[in-house]
Structures are given as C-alpha cells and as structure tokens.
Copies of this chain bind each other. A is one copy, B any other.
Amino acid sequence: MADKAQIQEAIEVQGEEVRKLKSEKASKEQIDEEVSKLLQLKAQIGEDDGKHQFGTRDYNPKQMAIREKVFNTILGCFKRHGAETIDTPVFELKETLTGKYGEDSKLIYDLKDQGGELLSLRYDLTVPFARYLAMNKITNIKRYHIAKVYRRDNPAMTRGRYREFYQCDFDIAGQYDAMIPDAECLKIVYEILSELDIGDFRIKVNDRRILDGMFAMPWKEVRKEMVSEKGLSEEVADQIGEYVSLQGGMELAERLLQDQKMSQSKQACAGLTDIKLLFSYLQLFQVTDKVVFDLSLARGLDYYTGIIYEGFLTQTGIAAEAQNSSGAEESVSVGSVAGGGRYDGLVGMFDPKGRKVPCVGAEVMYKKNPKLLSQLQYCEDSGIPLVAILGEQELKDGVVKLRAADISRADLIAEIKRKTSEA
C-alpha cells in the first residue's frame, strides 16, 4: 500500500486536474473519468469516512437513539406480522457464501487463515438464513433478523454506504398459495417506509424471469416488432431503454402478456402472471398507490428466482447530500432503502439432498444503497453487455446513457450493433 502522504499529494494533483478540465469546459466523459480517478484515490485514503479510515463508523449516543427509534418501528411491524427472530454468527464458512452473490463475491471479507476452517464475514442475512433452514430441516417459518452485514465495497465510490451496515430482514419460508407471502413482504415494506416518516417513497416490483426472458430476446426483432406491431415510430423503437422504462400496475402485466414477443418466453409469462396475481393482492392490501411494476428494476444477487422489489425514497435531497465537495458533482440517486425478492433455490443448495424450501423476503437497509450501481452490477453479473439508462438528467440532456458513456440518441443503434458484434 502506498504511503498516505503520497496518496494525499496525488489527491491534490488530481483535484487540480478536475478543476482545470471543468474550467476548460472539457467533455463530460473526460471529466467523469478524471473524477472517477479522484474518487478512487480518496477511497484509498478513506477521506470520505469521517473518523474511521476503513469504511466503517462509530455511532454516538444521539445516533444510537435514532437507530433505536428506527429499529423499534421496524421491529414492531415484523412482530405484528407474526415473525420470530433467529441469530446466526457474524462469520460463516467461506464455502457457504461462495457462488451465492455472483460478481459481488469479490466484496466478501475473508478472515485470515489462522488454522481451522476458512471463514468469511456474512455479506447478507439471507444466505445464513437459508443455511440455517437447511441445517435444521425447517420448512416453514416467518423470521426476522436485524444484524450487521459486511461488504468490501469502495465506500467513497458508493457514497453514503459503509462497509459495515445493518440489514433488517423479514422472510417467509414455506409452501403457500402463490404470491400471498410475496404480497405480505411488500405490505411490510410499505408499512415500514410509511411509519418511518422519511418522505415519499415508491416500491418497484419486477420479476427475475421477466428480465431474463427480456434479455434473451433478439433486440433486432424487438425493434421490428415495436415498429410493426405496436405502431411505434422508428425513433421511439430505437430507444431500447424505453422497453425497460415501462411502468405500471396490473394492467401493464396484462398488456405484456398479450405482447407477442413477450408471450413467446415461457419464463417471462410465468413472471407476468405472478405479477398480475401479486397486484390483485396488493389492491386488497391497499398499497398500490406506492407500488409500481417497473421493468427496469434489476437486483444484483444470483439467488433470486421470481418476484424482486426495491423500495426507494423519491426525494432528491438524498442525492444532493451524497455529493462531495471537490470534483464529484455527478448526482447519483442513493434513495434505495429496501429490497428483496423470491429465492426458491437457495435453501436447496445447503441441503445434502437438495430439498428446496420456497422463500421470499424483504431487507430494509439502515444505510442507503445507490440503486444505479446495483443495477449496473446486476447486468455485469448476468453478462448483459449493455445497459441503456434514461433518467431525469438524460431526458433533460436529450441523451441515452449507455452503461457509463453518454451517447446521442441518433448513434444509439449503431453503438449497440457495434458492441453486440464485439461480444
């Protein structure tokens, strides 16, 4: 590791470079690249982490009082829904975590080999829960677990997230009528985010199978179909991002089930049927004012098999707060505060006979987690070579963001063709 004074000097030089590029009105790509270098340097020295230099933090009595209040709200909700709690060790056998998180596995903290088994700090509470179910042959439980998890993330890069943070998990394991436990998990997220009084929120819902089905489609045909069948203009059809920017509720699921292209994918149809059923329960639970079916929602973990969802705050103040003072003015939405999904295969991975226990659950994050990064992560995990990003800023600037590099709308199709032929 380089000397801290050296890094500090490099940070100053790099900061100067960024300021220079900005004053010269250099291209956004160029500035972004240099800002990214600056953030990486800062991460090395841990400059964004306050008093702690390794991506973690202390909590003083005032912060603990807030935490206690938040946890009591969450706990009250979990208990109201009839959940019991368990606890598992902070570390697991390394092999327990292996192969469960895809590309994110590189963020797992390993313990030093001091003799005995190889151990790693838990990355989430879901995998230990699945291991616990399999080990104790439990096939039916509603459990909550509020505990810390560990990720060797770059805290300066992801802004506002620490390497140690709390997750508040609620999961339902067992055989139930389709979508009933899934709907309850969403109701719980809805109740908690309402009660916490942290501003307006939305819960996006999607299904892993719809994503997988969609990404398996040949893009050229999708475009053709969009133009010929849907009567969309070529220009609109070219915005492939549009397809995943669809948002709605039950009616959207119904419409997509009619969609000729979609309906050819068995798994996409299974997902859409479940989404439709889910929304019928969500209507009964009266939570559809905040829950949207959003085809752009992706979650980065390998183990999801069905419904996925994410709760996020709609206020932009959060994003502004996450900016740092020198150089990094790129606004990133860090509003994601809860997430979860269905993972029907995970328990079976820990059972010697592979016996499956269907599970679904919500985790409420005590620290915010930048949604965009986790989406990009999902794509990287799934080997998806290109992501079209069409956010508020992109709409304003008249561009579609292709992964990280901005590109004009006119060049989009050509770029996609070029990139896909490379792959």
Q: Establish whether residues B110 and A114, one from each chain, have CB atoms under 8 Å apart when the complex forms.
A: yes
Q: Which of A46-62 contact B (CB under 8 A)?
A: 51-54, 56-61
Q: Establish whether residues A136 and B61, one from each chain, have CB atoms under 8 Å apart when the complex forms.
A: no
A108 to chain B, nearest CB (A): 9
Any B CB within 8 A of the CB of A232: no
A157 to chain B, nearest CB (A): 14
A122 to chain B, nearest CB (A): 10
Known: A54-B93, A115-B1. A84 touches B110 (CB 8 A): no
CA distance A135 to B60 in the complex (A): 12
Contact check: which of B51, B115, B136 meets A51 at CB < 8 Å?
B136
Any B CB within 8 A of the CB of A352: no
Any B CB within 8 A of the CB of A178: no
Q: Establish whether residues A86 and B114, one from each chain, have CB atoms under 8 Å apart when the complex forms.
A: no
The residue on B at minimum CB distance from A51 is: B135
Chain B neighbourhood of A59, CB < 8 A: 86-88
Q: Establish whether residues A112 and B110, one from each chain, have CB atoms under 8 Å apart when the complex forms.
A: yes
Q: Establish whether residues B109 and A86, one from each chain, have CB atoms under 8 Å apart when the complex forms.
A: no
Q: Establish whether residues B84 and A64, one from each chain, have CB atoms under 8 Å apart when the complex forms.
A: yes
A203 to chain B, nearest CB (A): 28
Any B CB within 8 A of the CB of A148: yes
Any B CB within 8 A of the CB of A116: yes
Chain B neighbourhood of A57, CB < 8 A: 89
| Residue interface mask A56-73, B partner, CB < 8 A = 1 | 111111001001000000
A61 to chain B, nearest CB (A): 4
Any B CB within 8 A of the CB of A117: yes
> What is the copy number of this chain in the assembly?
2
Q: Establish whether residues A164 and B89, one from each chain, have CB atoms under 8 Å apart when the complex forms.
A: yes
Any B CB within 8 A of the CB of A209: no
Q: Establish whether residues A87 and B58, one from each chain, have CB atoms under 8 Å apart when the complex forms.
A: yes
Q: Establish whether residues A136 and B87, one from each chain, have CB atoms under 8 Å apart when the complex forms.
A: no
Chain B neighbourhood of A117, CB < 8 A: 53-54
Contact check: which of B1, B111, B121 meets A110 at CB < 8 Å?
B111
Chain B neighbourhood of A132, CB < 8 A: 58
Any B CB within 8 A of the CB of A422: no
A82 to chain B, nearest CB (A): 11
| Residue interface mask A273-313, B partner, CB < 8 A = 1 | 00000000000000000000000000000000000000000
Contact check: which of B58, B90, B113, B114 meets A164 at CB < 8 Å?
B90
Known: A1-B115, A119-B54. A61 touches B90 (CB 8 A): no
Q: Establish whether residues A61 and B89, one from each chain, have CB atoms under 8 Å apart when the complex forms.
A: no
CA distance A376 to B88 in the complex (A): 31
Q: Which of A119-170 contact B (CB under 8 A)?
A: 119, 121, 132, 135-136, 143, 148, 150, 152, 164
Q: Establish whether residues A1 and B116, one from each chain, have CB atoms under 8 Å apart when the complex forms.
A: yes
Q: Establish whether residues A136 and B60, one from each chain, have CB atoms under 8 Å apart when the complex forms.
A: yes
CA distance A136 to B63 in the complex (A): 14
Any B CB within 8 A of the CB of A91: yes
A88 to chain B, nearest CB (A): 5
Q: Establish whether residues A90 and B148, one from each chain, have CB atoms under 8 Å apart when the complex forms.
A: yes
Q: Establish whether residues A91 and B56, one from each chain, have CB atoms under 8 Å apart when the complex forms.
A: yes
* A interface with B by C-beta (< 8 Å): 1, 44, 51-54, 56-61, 64, 67, 84-91, 93, 109-117, 119, 121, 132, 135-136, 143, 148, 150, 152, 164
Q: Which 9 A-B pairs have the closest CB atoms?
A: A61-B84, A56-B89, A110-B112, A59-B87, A112-B112, A64-B85, A54-B117, A89-B164, A58-B88
